[in-house]
Amino acid sequence: MRNELINVLHTYKNAFASDNEPLGAVKGHEVDITRNIDRPYPPVLRRPAYPASPRAREALEKHIQELIQLGVLRKVGHNEEFDVTTPIIIALHNDKSRMAGDCRALNTYTAPDRYPIPRIQETMTQLSRSKYITSMDALKGFHRNVLMPKSKKLLRIITHCGIYEYLRMPFGIKNAPSHYQRMMNTIFPTELSEGWLIIYIDDIIICSDSWSLHLERLARVLDKVTGVNMKISLKKCNFGFEELKALGVIVSGLSLGIDRNKMEAELLKSIFQNKK
């Protein structure tokens, strides 16, 4: 089972994030932020940066540099006009930090997108009846959606070190889950209609009753992932488990699972090196 799995992953190694291409950019699904007001915008949309502690500032600077390197952010030039700025919040916990935009004002003036998100409970029966279950996670899911030019100007963040513009869809904006769910449903319409693929925003779950069929379905999904230039986080994948945590619950099947923790190093080595 292990060698068969590694062969499939090696064939579709471009579906996984790597140091050379950590993020990818999904083709053909640019995001348009629709406002429900016209210019001139109210002052509440042009907000100042929040005060932050020295530790929070240092963490914020690291996050910004990482996002610039990934092509998610760019710095806004001194001569560029701007009339929407969103302040940033840094959440600190032990040695870790998270960066999030306080998008409440922008979200208030964003037209709602009511594209349906799947009901988790309705997928549980389908999962529990499967013998083999694989779960995958798109790395930095929302950042895979490129923004349309006019939407980029609405998604500018203000910090102690300047103003930056999002080039990809950020977390925290209204309609982000709907945008992403629509994109995923559009990429995998046949697989979803056949009933063995479950997609809940950036969670991808494959269900099968036989190992050979499971590998075939895994290959189909990875082939489409490669075709649209999406990148999967290998570290967040669980292949062929009998029991795993999916969509926030523990689901049991019948098979012998492949332990991700024991295999991760071997998989990373195997699929990114040339076969001899």
Query: Residue 70 and residue 20: Cα distance in Å, rounded?
Result: 10
**What's the longest Cα–Cα distance across the chain?**
63
CA distances from 204 to 8, 48, 128, 171 (A): 17, 38, 16, 19
What is the arithmetic mean of pLDDT over 93-111?
91
Predicted model pTM: 0.82
Tens digits of residue pLDDT in 110-130:
999 999 988 776 666 666 677
Residue 240 and residue 1 in contact, taking contact as beta carbons nearer than 8 Å: yes
Residue 10 and residue 270 in contact, taking contact as beta carbons nearer than 8 Å: yes
What is the arithmetic mean of pLDDT over 27-31?
85
In this structure, what DSSP letter does residue 257 have? -
Q: Is pLDDT of 269 > 70?
A: no
- Residue 104: count of CB within 10 angstroms of its CB: 12
CATH top class, domain 2-271 = alpha beta
Q: Residue 50: what pLDDT?
A: 95
Q: Residue 256: what pLDDT?
A: 35
pLDDT greater at residue 262 or residue 87: 87
All structural domains of the chain with their residue ranges:
2-271
Token look-up 């869809």 returns 169
The whole-chain average pLDDT of the chain stands at: 85
Going by pLDDT thresholds of 50, 70 and 90, the confidence category of residue 273 is low
What is the arithmetic mean of pLDDT over 159-176?
93
Angle of helix 2-11 relative to helix 211-227, nearest 10 degrees? 20
Indicate the residue type of 190. Answer: T
